[in-house]
Amino acid sequence: MPPVATREGAIARAADHFASGAFRADLGRRVAMKTESQAPDRAVELRAYLTEEMMPSLDALGFSATVMPNAVIGHGPFLLAERHEGDHLPTVLIYGHGDVVLGHEGRWRDGRSPWEVTVDGDRWYGRGTADNKGQHSINIAALAQVVAERGTLGFNAKILIEMGEETGSPGLRALAETHRAALAADVLIASDGPRVGAERPTVFLGSRGTLDFELTVNLREGAHHSGNWGGLLANPGIVLANAIAVLVDGRGRIRLHALRPPAIPPAVRAALADLSVGGGVNDPVIDRDWGEPGLTPEERVFGWNSLEVLAFECGTPSAPVNAVPASAKAALQLRFVVGTDPSRVIDAIRDHLEAVGLRDVTVTPGRMEVFAATRLDPTDPWVDWALASLARTTGKKPALLPNLGGSIPNDVFSELLGLPTLWVPHSYPACSQHAPDEHLLGSVAEEALRIMTGLFWDLGETGAAIKEARRA
């Protein structure tokens, strides 16, 4: 008789898949593809990632895949793949993105190439290793281990890969609106962003939203000598600095009410009490007196809003001259939690600056698409199911984040498609995401491969019961 298929057998396969080097080989091919969505000349590479890498890999797993054009001209396409095993079975939608930020060649330590997976101890360097090629590669490999052990998944699976997340996911919302039926599922299980810490498996249920805007002060044509005109001409840098100061104080506390969230809900506060941020070997030291007074660091980053100045330009900072500048410009970003209305933010800032007499400051929305804030109810049956699965595989107590501190297009899935959303991240906070020296930890990747294999095994075993529990 053939051996009995077991959860333990599937997880053992996952460990062997990693140890054999097969996972690293898959990731190496994918990292080598220069899928920089922020570069204007990568259309061929963006499409090739789907047609030459994803489609053959998913075809081998019994998926039928289609590449769909982006309704937003000039942006990368999407891939939607499906393996349907039965109308009576639960359906999972799995999301990932194959595009990456700019490679920053020549700026990586020790001459490393961003387009190669270079292993140095526990660190696997390469652009996309952490964000997001490594993460969706783990999930696809985990599906393969379940099929290899059981012969089936035990559920229906749909996989959506986009190629424009690093430019704000243009076209993703339009795709979801047009193809609601094709994307219909019972739950979203996806991976992006970091764990709370490298050692602790994590589940998060949504994300903070993000809204970018610019403050500009244009006072005159050309600069004028500061000896002859200083004290007579308004300085745009000073005007702009004061405009920022009326929005956020010198310790990072948001002053404008429209930019502040409602009180942290009790269930969210309780979940955050079990977490600890920072303290890792490569983590920056947290400024304990920065941000909203009376909140823990965990509450400030996961339960509250933050207003950040991303860039500030006045004159020529690298070569200042003795002149009163003509203009100044700053790029700002609001990260916000559920309860903040992003549609009111720009007008509220304009009205406030007008009210305090800063009429020369122009407020304009940023070029990036606004990501809404989302958060699945921590008491949803899918949440306990996922936490129990991770604990069973690792013997560790997983961290539960009501929402990620960063921003992802989760609102497309939670609000537009109406899905409960579970995110199981496979990176860690100090992974140098978006910077030179981006890396994935090999130890985390190996554990993540076992975690996702166990999670998908459990979906085939008990997913139908969780689906019914939600209906009840």
Q: Which two tokens stand for residue 251?
A: 């310790």
Which domains, ranges and CATH numbers included, belong to the chain? 7-207+373-471 (3.40.630.10), 209-261+305-365 (3.30.70.360)
Q: Which two tokens stand for residue 10?
A: 């599937």
Locus of tokens 């069973």? 392
- At residue 309, the pLDDT reads 98
- At residue 2, the pLDDT reads 72
Q: Which residues pair with 332 in a beta bridge?
A: 213, 309
- At residue 367, the pLDDT reads 81
Distance, in Å, from the CA atom of 246 to the CA atom of 230, rounded to the nearest integer, reads: 24
Q: Under 8 Å CB-to-CB from 392, ≥6 apart: which residues?
A: 454, 458
* pTM greater than 0.85: yes
DSSP state of 222: S
Written as tens digits, the pLDDT of the chain (472 aa) is 678 999 999 999 999 999 999 999 999 999 999 999 999 999 999 999 999 999 999 999 999 999 999 999 999 999 999 999 999 999 999 999 999 999 999 999 999 999 999 999 999 999 999 999 999 999 999 999 999 999 999 999 999 999 999 998 999 999 999 999 999 999 999 999 999 999 999 999 999 999 999 999 999 999 999 999 999 999 999 999 999 999 999 999 999 999 999 999 998 999 999 998 887 777 789 998 999 999 999 999 999 999 999 999 999 999 999 999 999 999 999 999 999 999 999 999 999 999 999 999 999 999 877 889 999 998 999 999 999 999 999 999 999 999 998 888 999 999 999 999 999 999 999 999 999 999 999 999 999 999 999 999 999 999 999 999 998 8
Q: Where are the beta strands (DSSP E) in 30-155?
A: 64-68, 78-83, 91-97, 118-120, 123-125
Task: Kindly tell me the burial class for residue 359, based on how many C-beta atoms sit within 10 Å of its own C-beta (0-12, 13-18, 19 or more).
Answer: exposed
Q: Left if phi > 0, otherwise alpha if psi is -120 to 50, otherwise beta: which for 385?
A: alpha
Q: Under 8 Å CB-to-CB from 347, ≥6 apart: which residues?
A: none
CA 113, 114, 116, 121 torsion: positive or negative?
positive
Q: Where are the alpha helices (DSSP H) in 63-213?
A: 133-150, 172-178, 180-183
Q: Which two tokens stand for residue 88?
A: 């009576």
Among 147, 186, 76, residue whose Cα is nearest residue 464 = 186
